[in-house]
Structure 1
Amino acid sequence: MREDGVPGRARVGWTSMGVGFDRGMLVRAAVICGLLLFVLLALPRLLSAYYISVSTGVAVFAVVALGLNLLFGRVGLVSLGQMALLAFGAWVAARLFFLTGLPFPVVLLLAGLITAAVGTLLGLPALRLGGLHLALITLMFAGLVAIVVPTTNFPNGGSGVLGHTESSSGGLAVRRPGIAESDPAYFRYTVIVAAVMFLIALLHVGSKAGRAWAAIRQSEPAALAAGVNITLYKLYAFTLASFMTGVAGGLYAGYVGQLYSYQFSGARTIDSVTLLAVVLMGGIFSVWGAVVAALLQQLLPALLNDWFTFFQKNPDFLLVLFGIGVLQVIVTAPEGIVSQFPRDMRRLGGLLLRLVRRPARSEAKSEAP
């Protein structure tokens, strides 16, 4: 029984420490750990080299989608510049690789921190103005990156901070950590880093910051009346999302090996809008919707290109599918696939069970004297 007298689920946990966990939470944690072990240990053995590469991209973009998920789903801030921040984080990581001998985890951390600083400066002017202004400013930033990168000698190697090379030789490639030089090993490494980012997000959601974000999303005047520093917590959310995107950029640099301007077509404004679309489809109110969003953005195009030659010739047709998906989410499933799909499966299971039981009951009644 809860304090308000409403029956609740039984709770088990470290009551002496004041910490409790309901059984549903423990079950979910066990399922997540089991899935993570399957992805780390079994999945690389089952996939071809091509789909291992695609799966690495899924892990990278799950972190990018997670940052946008926190911004939009938890605080109500619409950012259309996450793909541009990904490009910036990858460039920072690549320069650190070329200029220093720092370990890979340190490079990832520095790439995340530097990108967080840039993201904070980017979002600061618009935070007092409202979500639409933030969306416009981040969209302009994405457009700026999309213009500057292809028209300049993108600093991707060579000497100095702004070194550039057209070579793709292995000596100039972005180095991977010694324990993850092969593609399967780097996939596992990327998944582990992504899991750490998701853990950080979950800890924030359940903390004071998460409660403040929820209050801001529900009503800024009510949050202000409750003593929440709206500007501070908005800025904190944007900084955290930028940090995660910068870490993803470092993982992306090690994923592709050598950076060129064409690889950063993802900074185009259309791709920023696509990222927002898949995050909405995945589930904006759950951090696990970011995983579904990454599957939609990276795995779905790979599968369609592999199965149908039509999509190889018309890649932009995927935008039509995403547009239909966003419309379906807005109309029928505002919580996204991550919440709607299990609910629909339970309903389908219940329907099938009733259909199976109905003939059995009819037979029993007919046999009765």
Structure 2
Amino acid sequence: MKQDFFSRTDVRGALVGLAVGLVLALGLPFLPGVGAGLALRTLTVCAIYALAAAGVGVLYGRLGLVSIMQIGLVAVGGWATLRIYHATHLPFEVVMVLAALVTAVVGVLVGLPALRLSGLSLAIVTLMVAGALEVLVTYAGFPNGGNGFLGRVSGGTLAVIMPRPGLGQSDDEFFRYVGVVVVVVLALLRWLLMVRPGRTWAAIRQGEAGAVSLGVNTVAHRLLALAVTSAVTGVAGALLAAGSGILDPASFKAQQSVLLFATVLIGGAFSLLGAVIGGLFFYGMPQLLSTVGLDGNLVFVVLGLGLVQAVTTAQAGIAGQLAELWRRLRPRLWPRPRREVTV
């Protein structure tokens, strides 16, 4: 059937995005002022949170599902990564895949009761899930080399720090490692959006009744979307754990999920570029405000104004505005030659 294939334009755009992403991932550390220190570490975390933002964007942009539990799933991915590593000492790449699978299972289990909800009801339920995950992570803590299921050290025993991947020991090497992983995961997600599952998700968003009349199993496709986005978010948690070797429950508050959803809307929920912009806003904006001597909590004011603008005048977000600007500039930069008409 036609919808099993995608156009040359889609393929060309995906390849261009892949090439640009790899160039940025490998080349940014060489830029003056970026190659070391706080700036590079901030960009690394921004790139990681772009994966969590991509999960939010796929659920909302393709299925119309308002999920506000992604930061909780990031914590699940980080917890699973630390626990699996301290229990098995497997290579990080294997641990990351296993943590993604664990997060996918958790995401499906906690989201299963809310699959038939939508809109505000779904947003409230997923926010409550985020709050529950925050409580669980705060109570259990993150594994740090101890025994038992929770993997916590007791008494005066020192915590064990999980080492970085072998290919990402220094800050610049780890940035490149994270960049390549993020680009590959986003490329796979882009491919999935172009083939049958992604197009079916778009059909469900356009009209669930119409999709059901065509024989689409909407529950199964929503479960697939939830599993995929949860796995992608689990990869983000694994990379966060790899960057610091240990995680703090205070970094995964439920309110952060609300902030992440807002940044996705500002960046653009209908494209993966919007997810990258959302990751920059989510983590980079507070760091920027703190660097210039302002209170990091002002990010709520800045993003609140940006959210109002995105909802009222630019529903495609910054990514949509950039795409529209490119469509206007492209004919001027590369005008097509006129074809001579012969009679």
The answer to whether the aligner puts 1:325 opposite 2:306 as a matched pair is yes
Local SS of the residue matching 2:65: coil
Assess if the C-alpha contact under 8 Å between 2:66 and 2:119 holds in 1. yes
Using the alignment, how far apart are the partners of 1:209 and 1:185 within structure 2?
Answer: 35
The answer to whether the aligner puts 1:99 opposite 2:87 as a matched pair is yes
Judge which range, 210-219 or 161-170, deviates more. Answer: 161-170
**Per-residue deviation, residues 341-361 of structure 1 (Å, max 9, x unmatched):** 34357769999xxxxxxxxxx
- In 2 relative to 1, CA 41–340 (structure 1 residues): closer, same or farther, beyond 3 Å? same
- 1:340 alignment counterpart: 321
* Percent of matched pairs sharing the same residue: 40
**Per-residue deviation, residues 240-278 of structure 1 (Å, max 9, x unmatched):** 11011111111110012222333xx33x22211100000
Local SS of the residue matching 1:285: coil
- 1:21 alignment counterpart: 8
The answer to whether the aligner puts 1:283 opposite 2:268 as a matched pair is yes
* Deviation for aligned residue 1:109: 0.5
AA of the residue aligned to 2:40 = I
* Deviation for aligned residue 1:140: 1.0
- 1:41 alignment counterpart: 26
**Unaligned 5+ residue runs, structure 1?**
1-17, 352-369
* Deviation for aligned residue 1:39: 1.8
Map 1:238-253 → 2, pairs under 5 A: 238-253=226-241
Using the alignment, how far apart are the partners of 2:156 and 2:278 within structure 1?
Answer: 31
Local SS of the residue matching 1:125: helix
Using the alignment, how far apart are the partners of 2:172 and 2:249 within structure 1?
Answer: 26
* Deviation for aligned residue 1:55: 1.2
* Deviation for aligned residue 1:131: 4.1
Give the aligned CA root-mean-square deviation in angstroms: 2.7
Using the alignment, how far apart are the partners of 1:116 and 1:124 within structure 2?
Answer: 12
Using the alignment, how far apart are the partners of 1:130 and 1:294 within structure 2?
Answer: 25
- 1:360 alignment counterpart: none
- In 2 relative to 1, CA 168–39 (structure 1 residues): closer, same or farther, beyond 3 Å? farther
* Deviation for aligned residue 1:165: 3.8
Assess if the C-alpha contact under 8 Å between 1:97 and 1:175 holds in 2. no
The equivalent position to 2:219 in structure 1, one of 217, 231, 250, is 231
Assess if the C-alpha contact under 8 Å between 2:18 and 2:187 holds in 1. no
Using the alignment, how far apart are the partners of 1:125 and 1:251 within structure 2?
Answer: 29
Using the alignment, how far apart are the partners of 1:334 and 1:68 within structure 2?
Answer: 15
**Per-residue deviation, residues 54-91 of structure 1 (Å, max 9, x unmatched):** 11101110110011111011011111110001001100
Using the alignment, how far apart are the partners of 1:171 and 1:151 within structure 2?
Answer: 17
Structure with larger Rg: 1
* Deviation for aligned residue 1:190: 1.0
Assess if the C-alpha contact under 8 Å between 1:284 and 1:336 holds in 2. yes
Local SS of the residue matching 1:178: coil
**Per-residue deviation, residues 312-336 of structure 1 (Å, max 9, x unmatched):** xx22211011111010011111100
- In 2 relative to 1, CA 253–153 (structure 1 residues): closer, same or farther, beyond 3 Å? closer
Assess if the C-alpha contact under 8 Å between 1:59 and 1:294 holds in 2. yes
The answer to whether the aligner puts 1:82 opposite 2:67 as a matched pair is no
Assess if the C-alpha contact under 8 Å between 2:51 and 2:182 holds in 1. yes
The answer to whether the aligner puts 1:316 opposite 2:297 as a matched pair is yes
- 2:39 alignment counterpart: 51
* Deviation for aligned residue 1:156: 3.1
**Unaligned 5+ residue runs, structure 2?**
333-343
